[in-house]
A and B are shown apart, each in its own frame.
Chain A
């Protein structure tokens, strides 16, 4: 786990577009943009249709994950490179997901779709066909995934990092501002959580800040990284971004992503909630 093993530059991707040992995957909540243009030879995973169970609220099963990767020509020893729009939110979620199922070599394109686009690098519309494989996933690694009971028990004892915007943290907004402000659940945050927005870790072009800057963002906000840390947001994608920063770039092992996040916590009966800055 380090910047060298988890992150690739746009130049690296440009040099590996035709490398058969590399699978480039665009991941987003809405794959319309993929249809309009994507990195050459990239396939696409839809955050909901491909990666959510659909019946129950959970990741897809090990068998379904194996089928998804096999169908898309990804082998156990393939180097998977993920990127997406939305500043890589859903791509980092997919990164965390690949780690849950034990994929060995998965990397993220620094800056994602936006940096590629701002560099005026080419997009194509051809959809590649990859030869099917027989992928074998590992059992889920829940050491990087937090569930609700653990989160409630962590109040006042572990680090809880709320990576949403200050307006969502305080209870002013219910969702990121590019989405309609709807939702039945209440607004606010988990008591004792520190609000360290995911965006603090990124430059304006979507690339990550330096390790020294990243470290300062957390320690400067009073997070003792020697303690266990749980990151959450609204649906677990932005917190996957912050999980990536802590776990992969800074090499902090005891960090979990709470993918139930505020849409689960804010709907629980009887749990404590805080509002305000």
Chain B
């Protein structure tokens, strides 16, 4: 189903000190079309792991009830690995302090 209206991406940034934190966040969607307008159903039983530039595990979180996740990283290049029943997707991102990296990832 194509949905429009809700702000795409990760959880609300209210209360996060973006001046000091390097945020990588987003939403995982399934059964949608990968285009400019986020659409599909949130993946609520996914796990997102964050690997550093050398491929080392740094952190992992489960997606929330809205399919969202968030990391507090440091500036640089990171790889996200999304795992859900029957699916695995990798996504490379570049993070910087002050400007949150907000993603919509389809599996």
A residues contacting B by CB (< 8 A) are 33, 36, 85-87, 114, 117-120, 165-167, 172-173, 175-181, 197, 199, 204-205
Contacts and interface: CB of A to CB of B under 8 A. Distances in A.
Given A177-B71, A197-B57, 10 more contacts: A87-B60, A114-B47, A118-B83, A165-B57, A165-B58, A167-B52, A167-B74, A173-B73, A181-B72, A199-B57
A36 B57 CA distance: 27
Contacts of B71: 177-178
Nearest to B50: A177
Contact of A178 (B16, B52, B72): B72
A166 B85 contact: no
B56 A165 contact: yes
B52 A165 contact: yes
A35 to B, nearest CB: 11
A178 B59 contact: yes
Nearest to A198: B57
A85 B62 contact: yes
The range of chain B's interface size is 20 to 34
Nearest to A165: B58
Nearest to A113: B62
Interface of B: 16, 20-22, 45, 47, 49-50, 52, 54, 56-62, 65, 70-74, 81, 83-86
Q: Per DSSP, are chain B's interface residues mostly helix, strand or loop, or mixed? A: strand
Given A119-B85, A166-B54, A172-B74, A177 B59 contact: yes
Contact of B83 (A180, A181, A204): A204
A176 B57 CA distance: 10
Contacts of B50: 177-178
Given A117-B45, A181-B20, A167 B83 contact: no
